[in-house]
């Protein structure tokens, strides 16, 4: 087993071959282990993520087109289940939920009692078919949310079956971000799909190998199939046309006041879509809610966006009142100050913020024109 698939040209020599039907055995094995299996699926003609019970729920035969401000998924004749772009939502919501109860208060004999939120018993998760950019995003969240107990609990139990990308949509730029299209070292198993829907499975950890063994998947992959798989992933990388302009980012880091932020910000609706779909945006705020019927109250941690006025509210008002100041904050945090704070970029090149921005603002071009 290799530790890293990020640079390997071929799957590991010990890789095994899977027929399409074998995916059900793999998913069943994970479920028999008591795991909730999360994978890509289609809902209302959009690729999304949800719990899956079998391979029939994967988006086999679906392809998607993504471009600035545009998304379209359509059924096709393809035999593949993983040749799609990043699903509409990111995997972070299963590790870092939109709403988390922090504490609640109740009344006992007229006295207020503060109850810490009970740690709900949860089944361990398996991420099935996560792509390289989103896997890298988990590595980013691992640092940013290292002290978040709920995140750590789910993350520590997580088993990852990643999928190499054998196609790229127009908004992908994982190559330039250095995160894909081959899944990096956080995967337990890496699947690479061939054009006929059959797959190569490459165990990257002991527990990944144990899952394949328990599923009875031990047919050695042929060298020809491994070469075909590697060629498909290389072709997906070669199809990417977007890239991060590192020189423009360096100029913005050195002289942020010289950037023409107004030009991009005048198109920004400050809707926050980009932060909600981003696999690495992790900010939250606190909301207190009181029930009028029994006087009990709850304190919730909820996702927040740096594009909202409230996010930058300090005593006396918001410190970022203009869209320009909020766009600038988001961009510079993602691509510049994240390095100082967490020793990495905050962008993994998934392109979701480009696709789901209603005005098609493109992070790879925002400050280059
Ligand atoms: S900033 Fe945009 S491209 Fe980068 S990780 Fe977030 S959503 Fe993906
Ligand atoms: S950049 Fe686009 S998605 Fe993000 S807040 Fe502005 S309009 Fe919304």
Q: Would you say residue 178 has pLDDT above 60?
A: yes
Q: pLDDT at position 6, please?
A: 40
In order of 55, 60, 205, the CA distances from 213 in angstroms are 19, 25, 12
Q: pLDDT at position 249, please?
A: 95
Nearest atom in ligand 2 to the alpha carbon of residue 305 is: 5
Q: pLDDT at position 18, please?
A: 97
For 327, the domain range is 246-291+305-355
Query: Is residue 351 within 8 Å of residue 85, measured between CB atoms?
Result: yes
- The verdict on 226 and 285 lying in the same domain is no
Q: For residue 197, is it within any domain? A: yes
Number of domains in the chain: 2
**Any idea which residue has 């109850």 for tokens?**
115
* Crossing angle between the packed helical segments 246-254 and 323-332, to the nearest 10 degrees: 120
Nearest-CA residue for ligand 2 atom 4 is: 274
Q: pLDDT at position 9, please?
A: 55
Q: Would you say residue 106 has pLDDT above 90?
A: no
Instruction: Among 279, 282, 332, 356, name the best residue to mutate to test ligand 1's pocket (greatest count of ligand atoms within 8 A of Cβ).
Output: 279
**Any idea which residue has 């079956």 for tokens?**
161
Q: For residue 115, is it within any domain? A: no
- The verdict on 226 and 254 lying in the same domain is no
Q: For residue 131, is it within any domain? A: yes
Q: For residue 102, is it within any domain? A: no
Of 238, 254, 281, the one marking the end of a domain is: 238
Q: Would you say residue 51 has pLDDT above 90?
A: yes
Q: Would you say residue 260 has pLDDT above 50?
A: yes
Instruction: Among 171, 264, 272, 276, name the best residue to mutate to test ligand 2's pocket (greatest count of ligand atoms within 8 A of Cβ).
Output: 272
Q: pLDDT at position 269, please?
A: 97
Q: How far apart are the C-alpha atoms of 155 and 148, rounded to whole Å?
A: 10
- Other CB atoms within 10 A of residue 308 CB: 17
Q: Which of 152, 146, 123 is CA-nearest to residue 38?
A: 123
- The verdict on 137 and 265 lying in the same domain is no
- The verdict on 272 and 209 lying in the same domain is no
Distance from the alpha carbon of residue 362 to the mean position of ligand 1, in angstroms: 10
Q: How far apart are the C-alpha atoms of 326 and 306, rounded to whole Å?
A: 7
Q: pLDDT at position 10, please?
A: 57
| Closest-approaching ligand to the CA atom of 277 | 1
Instruction: Among 88, 274, 334, 365, name the best residue to mutate to test ligand 2's pocket (greatest count of ligand atoms within 8 A of Cβ).
Output: 274
pLDDT digits (tens, 9 = 90+) for 130-153: 999 999 999 999 999 999 999 999
Binned at pLDDT 50, 70 and 90, residue 13 comes out as low
* Percent over 90 (pLDDT), the chain: 83
Q: Which of 156, 164, 200, 205 is CA-nearest to residue 181?
A: 164
Binned at pLDDT 50, 70 and 90, residue 14 comes out as confident
Q: For residue 107, is it within any domain? A: no
Query: Is residue 223 within 8 Å of residue 40, measured between CB atoms?
Result: no
Q: pLDDT at position 369, please?
A: 54
| Closest-approaching ligand to the CA atom of 357 | 2
**Any idea which residue has 């918001």 for tokens?**
318
Q: For residue 333, is it within any domain? A: yes
Q: pLDDT at position 4, please?
A: 37
pLDDT mean over 100-106:
89
**pTM (2 decimals)?**
0.93
Q: How far apart are the C-alpha atoms of 333 and 339, rounded to whole Å?
A: 9
Distance from the alpha carbon of residue 54 to the mean position of ligand 1, in angstroms: 30
Nearest atom in ligand 2 to the alpha carbon of residue 272 is: 5
Nearest atom in ligand 1 to the alpha carbon of residue 173 is: 3
Binned at pLDDT 50, 70 and 90, residue 8 comes out as very low
Of 196, 212, 238, the one marking the end of a domain is: 238
Q: Would you say residue 41 has pLDDT above 70?
A: yes
Q: Would you say residue 312 has pLDDT above 60?
A: yes
pLDDT digits (tens, 9 = 90+) for 204-256: 999 999 999 999 999 999 999 999 999 999 999 999 999 999 999 999 999 99
Q: pLDDT at position 240, please?
A: 97
- The verdict on 226 and 280 lying in the same domain is no
Instruction: Among 307, 329, 364, name the best residue to mutate to test ligand 2's pocket (greatest count of ligand atoms within 8 A of Cβ).
Output: 307
Ligand 2: residues with CB < 6 A are: 268-274, 307, 357-359, 361
- The verdict on 140 and 283 lying in the same domain is no
Q: For residue 362, is it within any domain? A: no
**Any idea which residue has 């071959």 for tokens?**
17
| Closest-approaching ligand to the CA atom of 353 | 1
Distance from the alpha carbon of residue 251 to the mean position of ligand 2, in angstroms: 23
- The verdict on 132 and 23 lying in the same domain is yes
User: Mapped to the 3 state alphabet, what secondary structure does the chain carry?
Assistant: CCCCCCCCCCCCCCCEEECCCHHHHHHHHHHHCCCEEEEEEEECCEEEEEECCCHHHCCCCEEEEEECCEEEEEECCCCCCCCCCCCCCCCHHHHCCCEEEEEEEEEECCEEEEEECCCCCCCCEEEEEECHHHHHHHHHHHHHCCCCHHHHHHHHHCEEEEECCCCCCCCCCHHHHCCCCCCCCCCCEEEEECCCCCEEEEECCHHHHHHHHHCCCCCECCHHHHHHHHHHHHHHHHCCCCCCCHHHHHHHHHCHHHCCHHHHHCCCCCCCHHHHHCCCCCCEEEEEEECCCCCCEEEEEEECCCCCCHHHEECCEECCCCHHHHHHHHHHHHHHHHHHHHCCCCCCCCCHHHHCCCCCCCCCCCCCC
Q: Would you say residue 173 has pLDDT above 50?
A: yes
- The verdict on 178 and 218 lying in the same domain is yes
Angle at 98 between CA 95 and CA 101, to 5 degrees: 95
Nearest atom in ligand 1 to the alpha carbon of residue 278 is: 7
Distance from the alpha carbon of residue 358 to the mean position of ligand 2, in angstroms: 7
pLDDT digits (tens, 9 = 90+) for 285-311: 999 998 887 778 999 999 999 999 999
Nearest-CA residue for ligand 1 atom 4 is: 347
- The verdict on 148 and 251 lying in the same domain is no
- The verdict on 232 and 261 lying in the same domain is no
Q: Would you say residue 7 has pLDDT above 90?
A: no
- The verdict on 148 and 169 lying in the same domain is yes
**What does the block give as tokens for 179?**
């995160």
- The verdict on 208 and 273 lying in the same domain is no
Nearest-CA residue for ligand 2 atom 1 is: 268
| Closest-approaching ligand to the CA atom of 171 | 1
Q: pLDDT at position 367, please?
A: 83
Q: How far apart are the C-alpha atoms of 274 and 350, rounded to whole Å?
A: 11
Distance from the alpha carbon of residue 273 to the mean position of ligand 1, in angstroms: 11
Of 220, 238, 256, the one marking the end of a domain is: 238
Binned at pLDDT 50, 70 and 90, residue 1 comes out as very low
Q: For residue 213, is it within any domain? A: yes
């Amino acid at each position: 087993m290799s530790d890293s698939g990020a640079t390997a040209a071929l799957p590991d020599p010990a890789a095994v071959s899977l027929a399409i039907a074998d995916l059900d055995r793999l998913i069943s094995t994970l479920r028999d282990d008591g795991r909730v299996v999360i994978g890509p699926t289609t809902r209302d003609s959009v690729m999304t993520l949800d719990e899956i019970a079998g391979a029939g729920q994967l988006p086999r035969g679906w392809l998607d087109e993504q471009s600035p401000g545009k998304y379209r998924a359509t059924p096709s004749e393809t035999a593949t289940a993983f040749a799609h772009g990043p699903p509409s939502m990111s995997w972070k919501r299963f590790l870092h939920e939109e709403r988390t109860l922090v504490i609640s208060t109740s009344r006992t004999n007229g006295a207020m009692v503060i109850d810490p939120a009970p740690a709900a018993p949860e089944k361990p998760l398996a991420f099935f078919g996560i792509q390289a950019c989103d896997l890298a995003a988990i590595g980013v969240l691992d640092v940013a949310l290292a002290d978040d107990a709920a995140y750590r609990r789910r993350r520590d139990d997580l088993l990852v079956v990643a999928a190499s990308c054998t196609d790229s949509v127009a908004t992908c730029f994982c190559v330039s971000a250095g995160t894909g299209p081959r899944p990096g070292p956080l995967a337990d198993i890496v699947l690479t799909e061939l054009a006929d829907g059959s797959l190569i499975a490459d165990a990257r950890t002991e527990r990944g190998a144990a899952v394949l063994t328990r599923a009875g998947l031990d047919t050695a992959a042929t060298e020809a199939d491994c070469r075909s798989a590697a060629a498909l992933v290389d072709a997906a990388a070669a199809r990417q046309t977007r890239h991060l302009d590192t020189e423009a980012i360096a100029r913005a880091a050195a002289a942020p006041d010289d950037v023409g932020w107004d030009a991009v910000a005048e198109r920004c609706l400050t809707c926050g879509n980009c932060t909600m779909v981003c696999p690495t945006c992790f900010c939250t705020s606190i909301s207190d809610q009181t029930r009028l019927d029994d006087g009990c109250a709850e304190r919730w941690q909820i996702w927040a966006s740096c594009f909202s006025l409230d996010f930058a509210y300090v005593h006396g008002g918001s410190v970022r009142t203009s869209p320009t100041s909020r766009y600038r904050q988001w961009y510079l945090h993602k691509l510049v100050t994240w390095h100082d704070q967490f020793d990495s970029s905050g962008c993994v090149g998934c392109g979701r913020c480009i696709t789901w921005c209603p005005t098609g603002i493109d992070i790879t071009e925002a400050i280059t024109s």
